[in-house]
Structure 1
């Protein structure tokens, strides 16, 4: 599995460009502040880290909608970014812009890094002024906490496996 990079870049007031890239390709999505796109994305990744098998997040591009589909199998997540005509489009419709297979850890780290870069680069006040909504601090910390729990559980499983040999 190749390296995964996710970036959120705030553009004009209330708009963001989200880029995802790995060794297999890259894609861009556009997000409007009319929905809680960052919050949905961070919570979806946190749910995966906590063991959920399938989840999704949606970014409203007005009128298009960008849908992230996540399917977890063990420690690996298959991710698809799909562009649909609008929010009323059936869930299975649209064009796949990007897909990749990454570990739960790589996906979670990429998501945390994306929002840490926004926080450190702009700060919460500038983020809110430019995005039009508060920085998703709670959602970012939920993901960070989920990652720590996952890492502890994984380390404990590894220790138990080694002890039984």
Structure 2
């Protein structure tokens, strides 16, 4: 299974830069850290661990948003990261900027 890394760095007043990578690709997104972005991501991962098969988290970058979509099938997790022009947009309006398939233990 591929390596998974997430780095969260405060980059200015109210903002954080997030870098996500595996052995195949890397991408950087911005999040307002005055939102519940970190908690939302941790909640989604927790829901996967307890057996949910699909969950989401969202980073607000005002007006852009970055939506994390997690799909679980057995011990495999597929993660898609979408960039959306507006946080209220449907998934199909987003552009996939990064994705990976990992074992649930790696994601946890």
State the 1:34 CA deviation: 4.2
The aligned counterpart of 2:48 is 48
User: What is the distance in 1 between the residues matched to 2:65 and 2:50?
Assistant: 26
Q: Number of matched residues? A: 108
Matched with 2:31 is 31
SS in 2 for 1:63: coil
List 4+ stretches of structure 1 deviating above 3 A. none
Unaligned ranges ≥5, structure 2:
none
TM-score normalised according to structure 2 size: 0.95
Where structure 1 has 5 or more consecutive residues not aligned to the other structure, the ranges are 109-165
SS in 1 for 2:93: coil
Partner SS, residue 88 of structure 1: coil
Give how far 1:29 is off.
1.0
Aligned pairs (5 A) from 1:90-129: 90-108=90-108
Q: Please give the alpha-carbon distance, in whole angstroms, between the structure 2 residues aligned to 1:57 and 1:88.
A: 13
Report Cα offsets for 1:78-136 as digits up to 9, x if no partner.
Answer: 0001000011211222111100000111011xxxxxxxxxxxxxxxxxxxxxxxxxxxx
Q: Distance in 1 between matches of 2:86 and 2:34?
A: 14
Whether the aligned pair in 2 keeps the contact of 1:83 and 1:97 (CA below 8 Å) is yes
Displacement after TM superposition at 1:20 (Å): 0.7
Structure number with larger C-alpha Rg:
1
Question: Equivalents in 2 of 1:35, 1:17: separation in Å?
Answer: 14
Name the structure 2 match of 1:127. Answer: none
Q: CA RMSD in A?
A: 0.9
TM-score under structure 1 normalisation?
A: 0.63
Give the secondary-structure state (helix, strand or coil) at the position aligned to 1:39. helix
> Any conservation in 2 of the 1:34–1:60 contact (CA below 8 Å)?
no
Q: Give the Cα–Cα distance (whole angstroms) in 1 for the partners of residues 92 and 103 of structure 2.
A: 24
> Does the residue aligned with 2:86 lie in a helix, a strand or coil?
coil
1:72 matched residue in structure 2:
72
